[in-house]
Structure 1
């Protein structure tokens, strides 16, 4: 069964100007249920990640100040959200959702988090709408409990997974792969184990060929026994921040490529949604929904 982490606090009660694109966390499960891709039993509601799990990926002083709502105005500004207890609770819930998904993936082959992919969260700070790094926390959980020996993180959001790269910079058991817009945020890139910076206006053909070659090579080279996939849909040509020219069909082919690689190589995988900032919400929902449709088609 496809297990999907979702909880109402994924839709945080932000001021109106911050509501978009957060509304996708409300609309996506509704769309998947409406069209029959999933049923209510596919969803589970995660609780909150423990301090122990969070501190495996994050600095103790940063975590103390974050949960105490003690970040400076400058630190808060870099996250992009007004800081509140509700926002911190949301991040803790998302992190636990990805941990739970990792355990479900070991049983079913794949599991998915409606939110997550918070790859701009560093060991000691948050950036770009990310406060805690859910895949970083979950990867550490797997390693600590000896549920995985070699993890590959595939980050295909249009923005480099800079926080994830920093968290695992000295961790040989985790290989970080980020394929992103070369001239897009963040301006200062961290060093992933493999970074591929794409030029502005990259189209489907070049994008998919580049991914195909590198993904096959990485599976052979890294020999992972677990995958995390950050499936941001801000690569779309409709995205107001993306600067690439990938179509919805191209994005779907991207997802099929990654999901098939995991399935054919029998590597458990967790998918977190990542970014999406198209002007019209219908494009965001359709692109994200394709990821779930493919998971059902390929795995179940």
Structure 2
């Protein structure tokens, strides 16, 4: 169950209402089954909102031949979040545009220049999945800029989680686009944070592999050796082996699952991987690519993860790194004992019916919304349990 709905009943989260519906008619939501026990605690939440960045003002009206990409989902997700989450618990910010210098942290300067100036070749336009336009340039820049802003928020403010209602553009290579990705926000953010001496972990849970991210980082290590900024970055991708197209990923840890993998196996593999990574590498910043295209209802994904499985995946990652694991977890003492700063980005989600008013489209939107609602809940709980996050840089 992603969240519980109680019509006409006021549900409180540690003596504070976290969510409301848009009508303001005293209907409230509880995000997870665990909330029930939280209500019994009388500690009052400190009001530290989770920063939410969004870039849907740069939405591009695509020609019909590009309609398979659900451009409208960003707007729907942002609006739904603004209606559901009380302002006390989330602050909404427009995503800034990434600068040329910021993009250079992970991309070839000539590549950036050619894209900015409309000099992509026909092949590059085809690889990108989008027609070129100035509005599309701004959209690509904001996809990185919002993720960078989220990273800055957890490094310099007191939030333990910050999110971007966009991003997760993990297919973009150092000097070429791929799969609806022009610039790689995960690689740029990782480089930015690593230059500030952070130990960064990328947890990529999209159904497609983080091929661009892993190759950008691997190429930098191979070229620069011990001088590579990416030596302070660990890449992890869990994906479907049948969703690997073209170049294979070269992450520090790749888990390629069989088609039609179901909830139990997926969650077991993910949980085992998180403990393994923690034992090998102790990050102090996690970038979570929370693609929902692992859903059994996704048009492009080939896994069979239910809505309940997606909810458990989100909670598994959030609770693991925010040190909110259940006391009944036999490995509870083997993971982080205090919260690790977390940034959540959107990733993929592709409805079978691309019509925005369709049930399939809106269900896909709701899967994305659930990710951010869970992040808001777990952020509030982490603040309540551990207090405000320290500024890390």
TM-score range, shorter chain: over 0.9
1:274 to 327, 341, 347: 347
SS in 2 for 1:33: helix
* 1:284 maps onto 2:364 in alignment: yes
Counterpart position of 2:33: none
Contact in 2 for aligned 1:119/1:163 (Cα 8 Å): yes
Counterpart position of 1:9: 57
Residue 47 of structure 1: how far off its partner (Å): 2.1
- Segments of 4+ moved more than 6 angstroms: none
Structure 1: 5+ residue stretches without partners: none
Contact in 2 for aligned 1:10/1:25 (Cα 8 Å): no
- Residues 209-230 of structure 1: CA deviation (Å, up to 9, x unaligned): 1101111211221100111011
RMSD of aligned residue pairs (Cα, Å): 1.6
- Residues 106-165 of structure 1: CA deviation (Å, up to 9, x unaligned): 330110000000000111111000000111111211122x1x431110000000011100
From the CA coordinates, give the structure whose radius of gyration is larger. 2
SS in 2 for 1:271: strand
* 1:104 maps onto 2:148 in alignment: no
Mapping of 1:159-238 within 5 angstroms?
159-169=208-218, 170=221, 171-238=230-297
1:125 to 176, 179, 186: 176
* 1:28 maps onto 2:77 in alignment: yes
SS in 2 for 1:223: coil
Counterpart position of 1:113: 164
Residue 9 of structure 1: how far off its partner (Å): 3.1
* 1:256 maps onto 2:329 in alignment: no
SS in 2 for 1:256: helix
Residue 35 of structure 1: how far off its partner (Å): 2.9
Residue 256 of structure 1: how far off its partner (Å): 0.4
- CA–CA distance in structure 1, aligned partners of residues 88 and 207 of structure 2: 30
Seen in structure 2, the aligned counterparts of structure 1 residues 259 and 23 have a Cα distance that, compared at 3 Å, is same
Residue 27 of structure 1: how far off its partner (Å): 0.5
- CA–CA distance in structure 2, aligned partners of residues 276 and 205 of structure 1: 21
Structure 2: 5+ residue stretches without partners: 1-48, 222-229, 324-335, 353-359, 381-393
Q: Given the two structures, how large is their TM-score scaled by the length of structure 2? A: 0.73
Counterpart position of 1:61: 110
